[in-house]
Amino acid sequence: MSGLSYPRRLVGASLKLAEGTLLVGAPWYRVDYAEVIGHGEDDFQRAADNLFSWRAHRAAHVRVDGKPSAGEVVQLHFGPTVSPCRIISVERSRHRAVLVYGTMHGHIECGEEAFIVEQGKGGEVTGRCVAFSQHSWWLARVFSGPACIVQRWATKRYVRGMGRDLVNVV
């Protein structure tokens, strides 16, 4: 996929990390956060809708311009920053919804992030975010510690945003 800011061999690696079939080491910072966000078909559908409508991102104060379709370029707005990403893959089945995007040149980070909603056999609905990244923006590199804290905070907000009733969030 052209325009991505990370190595081509790692395209799709966030899902492999989630499956446990790949490990990425230094210099990549890894995030893997999961939480039970509901129970039953209605909660699964709401979580998938929150993911694909970008409402889960808005729960982390990230506004996204663009459609969640494979190959599309979207713009993530967080505070004063605008970061381009390419949608790597999208999946929506009866009990699983997945959205993966990779960073493009100009993004404040360099890497890939997978957002996963799954409904287990017992009905529990789990939201999960798995990512690997490095800081691209000079300010994030200088303030790496705080930048990682913000990244972990946003990750939790994305996951929790999947499970909330966010219809009216703008």
Ranges 17-21, 52-56, 162-166: which has the least confidence: 162-166
**What per-residue string of b and e applies to 131-142 under the rule 16 or more CB within 10 Å gives b?**
bbbbbbbeebee
| Residue range 64-76: mean pLDDT, rounded | 97
- pLDDT at residue 12 above 80? yes
Residue 126: closest CA among 169, 160, 157, 94: 160
What domains, with CATH codes, occur in the chain? 8-19+28-163 (3.30.530.20)
pLDDT tens per residue across span 107-117: 888 999 999 99
Considering the entire predicted model, what is its pTM? 0.90
Show the beta-strand stretches assigned E in the chain.
Answer: 29-39, 62-65, 73-78, 81-92, 96-103, 109-119, 124-135
pLDDT tens per residue across span 134-155: 877 666 656 666 666 777 878 8
What are 13's two structure tokens? 């690696």
